[in-house]
Structure formats: C-alpha cells, structure tokens
C-alpha cells in the first residue's frame, strides 16, 4: 500500500448514511388478558423480581407462588376486567400509540421499540429487534418519572441481563428520571387546569405508588440522611436518588405550575402490600383525615404514572372516590395520565435528543 493511499482522508459518507439510534421505551407491564391464568402469570413474574419484593429467594418463592398468586389472581382478574377496553389493556394500547407517534417525530435516524418489564412485549424481544438494526447507540427510557430500584432499577438490570452476552455492544444510555422536565410537568399542569376551570376544589391530592421503607433506607448511600420526614423537603445531592424525595419534589413543581396555595395539597402514597411499613402518609388514611377537616371536593393526581392503568383508573379514580364519598366528601375527580398526548411525545423527543434535558 502506497503512502499516497494512506494519506487519503477516510470517507465517512457511507457511515453517516446508515448511522441510527435505537430507542427502547419501557413501561411496567400488564397481563396479556384479564383471565385468571394470565393475571396469575403476570403477578408471578412481577412479584418474583427481587427488586420488587426484596426478601430471600425461597421466602419470596413460597410467598408469591403459594399465597399471593393463587389467592390474589382471581380478585385482580375481576379488577382488570373493569379496566380492559375493546382494544386491550390501556397501558399497552397507549404504549403502542406513543411508540408510533415518537417514531414519526424522531424520523428515520431512530428506531423505536416498545417493551414491558413484565410480560409482553418483553425487553428481550425488543432488544433483539433493535440488535438487527446495526445501531450506533441505544437509549433506554423507562416510563417512570421518579427513579426507584423496583421500577427503573429493575429495567436497567433486565436490559443488562439481555445484552451481557452480545459480542458487539453499541453505546447504551439509560434515562434515570424525568420528573423535572418542563414538558412532563406542563402536561399534568394542563390537565389539572382543565378540571380546575370546571370546579372549585377544596384540596389537591398527589398520590404516588408506595414502596417499603426498607427499600428507601437501603438506597440511602450516606447511611444516615434518610429520616422519612423533613429530609424530603428539598432534593439535593444527598437524596437525589431517593424515590420519596423525588415524589415530594414532583408535587412541589406541580403545585407551583398549578398555583395551588400552601395548606391545600397533600403528597401521599398508595398500593401498599403486606404488613411491613411502607412510605407515608398512606393515601387511604389521608382521605378520611381530609373529610374530617371539612374537605368536600378534591382533585387527585397520580404523577408516578405516565399511562392510565389499574393503579390510576381503578384505585385512585374509583376506589378512592368511593372512600371519599363514604367519609362525607362530595366530589372526587381523578386527573388522567399523560397517556399518548402530544406534550408527552414532545417530552420524550426532547429527552432522547437532548441528554442534558
């Protein structure tokens, strides 16, 4: 080979023409159908995750397979039947809609795949499809606004399990959280203002999915900062990865955007399981306290979810409404999730294209 040949510049035209970025959007998951067998299968996979129920394997196996799945599946199946729509699970339906909209706005330089952490479409299936695209980079976007080991952390772990044996690994970027993103906040603010224009609410409830306190404590790398109290009054370098602190920060940002005065809102946590202490205050204990104080109308948000599901539509929208009215309340209104709204797709586009966002 001559020195003249070596001196010629490398032609990057072909490389630039085929350079593509993969985008893996991931939500928690849903049963394939509201039938008891499918719900039981979903519960077993979900609850056997060591990041969800963080107890020794054998204890977890016996608890899930001999107690929770057999007895809870029939009850949960009835609730899923209430939630189910003609086109299937709302969480999955909105997921596919967001995938299609996001692919359209991102263009040909990106390949978007949808996955569920539990059940279908699986993370493994989605990553296998992306692998065939000769990608330069894969961006993983868990659909959880606040980081938690049981949600975002579990997605990270499953992605790494799938790719660990790939001979060639493209660059992989994980999105840790997006609670502070202006478009995420504005999306819920816009929805809230729609209902506030229709009714004068006495109080505003921000209900987040709960976690066992032990998981929050385990995540405190300082070993002493977490006190389950005023430590969550501000989000800083010490508690930046604390799920509880992130939830309170989300509420503060939404309250500011909605113009809600102090004393008229509450941050609380729902969906606890078992007898061990979960992060407080509990939503089902907050509701009777509010009605005792004379609250007659409440607007409820579920900002830990970007798509409506059992925990939003049924638990907050129906069960808590029934509880509120039973305790003397008159008007309980759930603010729907971002679902497949344009502002949510715009938020994702910005997260993907602008890492600093």
Identify the CATH number of the domain in which residue 205 sits: 3.40.50.1400
A 10 A CB-CB count for 357 gives 15
Lookup: tokens for 155 = 């997605």
Per the annotation, does 209 bind a ligand? yes
172, 71: one domain: yes
Confidence at 355, pLDDT banded by 50, 70, 90: confident
Domain assignment present for 240: yes
**CB under 8 A, 24+ apart: contacts of 252-257:** 253/179, 253/180, 253/185, 254/185, 254/188, 254/189, 254/192, 254/206, 254/301, 254/303, 255/204, 257/185, 257/186, 257/188, 257/189
| Model pLDDT for residues 265-288, shown as the tens digit of each residue | 999 999 998 889 999 999 999 999
Residue 202 and residue 141 share a domain: no
CA nearest 162: which of 135, 130, 120?
A: 130
Whether residues 45 and 104 fall in one domain: yes
Q: In terms of domains, do 195 and 330 share one?
A: yes
125-156 as b/e: b if 16+ CB within 10 A: ebbeebbebebeebbbbbbbbbbbbbbbbbbb
Axis crossing angle, helix 182-196 with helix 243-258, rounded to the nearest 10: 50
Contacts of 101 (CB under 8 A, 6+ apart): 340, 342, 345
**Predicted pLDDT of residue 8:** 52
Reply yes or no on whether the pLDDT at 292 is more than 60.
yes
Q: Are residues 40 and 145 in the same domain?
A: yes
Cα first-last separation, the chain: 47
259: left (phi over 0), alpha (psi -120 to 50) or beta: left
Asked if the model's pLDDT at residue 56 lies above 70, the reply is yes
Mean pLDDT score of the chain, rounded to an integer?
94
Q: Is 203 annotated as a binding residue?
A: no
Instruction: Identify whether 128 is part of a domain.
Output: yes
Which two tokens mark 14?
């072909």
171 and 189 both lie in a single domain:
no
Total H helices, total E strands in the chain: 14, 8
In a domain, residue 129? The reply is yes
Are the CB atoms for 257 and 186 separated by under 8 Å?
A: yes
**What pLDDT band is residue 16 in, cutting at 50, 70 and 90?**
low
| Segment 1-25 mean pLDDT | 64
Q: Is residue 211 part of a domain?
A: yes
Q: Is residue 198 part of a domain?
A: yes
Q: List the structure tokens of 169.
A: 């690994």
Q: At residue 13, does pLDDT exceed 80?
A: no
Provide, rounded to the nearest whole percent, the portion of the chain with pLDDT above 90.
92
Verify that 59 and 129 share a domain, yes or no: yes
- How many angstroms separate the CA atoms of 250 and 58, rounded? 37
- Asked whether residue 6 carries a pLDDT value surpassing 70, the answer given is no
Q: What integer pLDDT is reported at residue 357 of this predicted model? A: 66
pLDDT of residue 4: 46
In a domain, 233, yes or no: yes
Residue 313 C-beta-side C-alpha neighbours within 13 Å: 17
In a domain, 26, yes or no: yes
Task: Give the Cα separation of 216 and 212 in Å (integer).
Answer: 7
Res 2: pLDDT: 47
pLDDT at 14 over 90: no
Helix (H/G/I), strand (E/B), else coil: 300:
strand
Q: Is residue 4 part of a domain?
A: no
Q: Read off the pLDDT of residues 204-240 as tens digits, 9 standing for 90 and up.
A: 999 999 999 999 999 999 999 999 999 999 999 999 9
Specify the length of the chain in residues.
357
Q: Are strands 110-118 and 21-29 parallel, antiparallel or unpaired?
A: parallel
- Whether 228 and 254 map to the same domain: the answer is yes
Q: Report pLDDT digits (tens) over 298-330.
A: 999 999 999 999 999 999 999 999 999 999 999
- For the chain, the domain total comes to 2
279 token code pair: 């992060």
How many C-beta atoms lie closer than 10 Å to residue 11's C-beta? 8
pLDDT of 9: 56
Across 169-190, average pLDDT: 97
**Which distant-in-sequence residues (6+ apart) come within 8 Å of 26 by Cβ?**
114, 115, 116, 117, 123, 140, 141, 142, 143, 155
Q: Note down the domain range covering 234.
A: 182-334
> 149 and 38, same structural domain?
yes
Q: How far is CA 221 from CA 155, 224, 238, 317, in A?
A: 21, 8, 8, 36
pTM for the full predicted model = 0.93
Shared domain for 139 and 187, answered yes or no, is: no
Distances (CA, A) of 232 to 27, 185, 193, 209, 285: 26, 19, 26, 16, 20
Residue tagged 């790939």 (tokens): 166
Helix (H, G, I), strand (E, B) or coil at 61: helix
Greatest C-alpha distance within the chain: 89
pLDDT at 19: 83
Same domain, 129 and 259: no
27 and 174, same domain (yes or no): yes
């Amino acid at each position: 080979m001559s020195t003249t040949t070596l001196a010629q510049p490398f032609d990057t035209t072909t490389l630039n023409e085929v350079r593509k970025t993969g985008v893996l959007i991931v939500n928690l998951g849903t049963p394939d159908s509201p039938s008891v067998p499918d719900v039981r299968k979903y519960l077993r996979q979900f609850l056997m995750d060591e990041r969800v129920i963080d107890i020794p394997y054998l204890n977890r196996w016996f608890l899930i397979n001999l107690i929770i799945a057999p007895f809870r599946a029939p009850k949960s199946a009835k609730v899923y039947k209430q939630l189910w729509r003609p086109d299937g699970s709302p969480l999955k339906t909105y997921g596919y809609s967001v995938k299609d909209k996001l692919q359209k706005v991102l263009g040909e330089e990106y390949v978007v795949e949808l996955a569920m952490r539990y059940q279908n479409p699986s993370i493994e299936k989605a990553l296998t499809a992306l692998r065939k695209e000769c990608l330069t980079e894969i961006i993983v976007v868990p659909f959880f606004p606040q980081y938690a080991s049981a949600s975002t952390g579990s997605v990270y772990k499953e992605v790494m399990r799938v790719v660990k044996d790939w001979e060639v690994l493209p660059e992989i970027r994980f999105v840790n959280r997006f609670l502070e993103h202006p478009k995420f906040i504005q999306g819920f603010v816009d929805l809230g203002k729609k209902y506030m224009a229709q009714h004068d609410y006495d109080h505003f409830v921000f209900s987040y999915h709960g976690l066992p306190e032990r998981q929050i404590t385990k995540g405190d790398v300082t070993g002493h900062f977490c006190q389950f109290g005023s430590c969550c009054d501000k989000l800083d370098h010490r508690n930046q990865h604390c799920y509880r602190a992130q939830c309170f920060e989300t509420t503060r940002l939404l309250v500011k955007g909605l113009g809600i005065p102090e004393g008229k809102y509450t941050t609380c946590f729902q969906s606890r399981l078992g007898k061990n202490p979960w992060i407080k205050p509990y939503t089902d204990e907050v509701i009777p306290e509010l009605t005792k104080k004379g609250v007659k109308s409440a607007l409820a948000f579920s900002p830990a979810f970007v798509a409506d599901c059992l925990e939003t539509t049924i638990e907050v929208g129906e069960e808590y409404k029934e509880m509120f009215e039973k305790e003397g309340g008159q008007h309980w209104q759930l603010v729907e999730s971002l679902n497949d709204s344009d502002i949510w797709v715009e938020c994702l586009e910005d997260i993907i294209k602008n890492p600093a966002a």
